[in-house]
Amino acid sequence: MKRVLTLPDARLRQKSKPVEVFDARLRTLIEDMQLSMQQGPGGVGLAAPQLGVLLRIAVVDCSLGLHPCKNNGRLLMVNPEIIYQSGKVLGREGCLSVPEWVATVSRSKKVTVRYQDLSGACQEVAATGFEARVIQHELDHLDGVLFIDRVLSVHDLVRRMS
């Protein structure tokens, strides 16, 4: 398990590079990501840059949250990209890398993501609702974008109560 980076760490603002080698080191990194994700309250997703690793990898598991949902279960996505999105919906978001804040953010209601699995095989997954929100949030991290960059109004940004 590794420590999750928090603002103002500059690595959170950098764009990640594609994964080219699918080996035991990749599997170990993803295992570390899953363990690190679970260390925070309501951790349902984590991107490699949040651990200081600038590679295009995201882990999502909405069954672990404070309000669990099954959807697609645990998703281990390497080189993910959104290939379809539709609808818009507002919702509250928080982040392990911005631990003291929550905000209302607009996201697509439905997404389809193409990614590679741990062996490098191409996969696609469709997601809706909360799972779609989490996927979009994590994929933003791969481009150095944080949820606070998507806040509609500064009045929507609220300090989380301890």
Q: Which of 20, 31, 81, 138 is catalytic?
A: 138
Q: Of 41, 35, 58, which Cα lies nearest the Cα of 111?
A: 58
Q: How far is CA 73 from CA 3, 68, 77, 128, 158, in A?
A: 24, 10, 12, 13, 30
Instruction: Identify the bridge partners of residue 91 per DSSP, sorted by sequence position.
Output: 105
Q: Identify whether 124 is a catalytic site residue.
A: no
Q: What is the dihedral of CA 154, 160, 161, 162, to 10 degrees?
A: -150
Q: Which residues belong to the active site?
A: 138
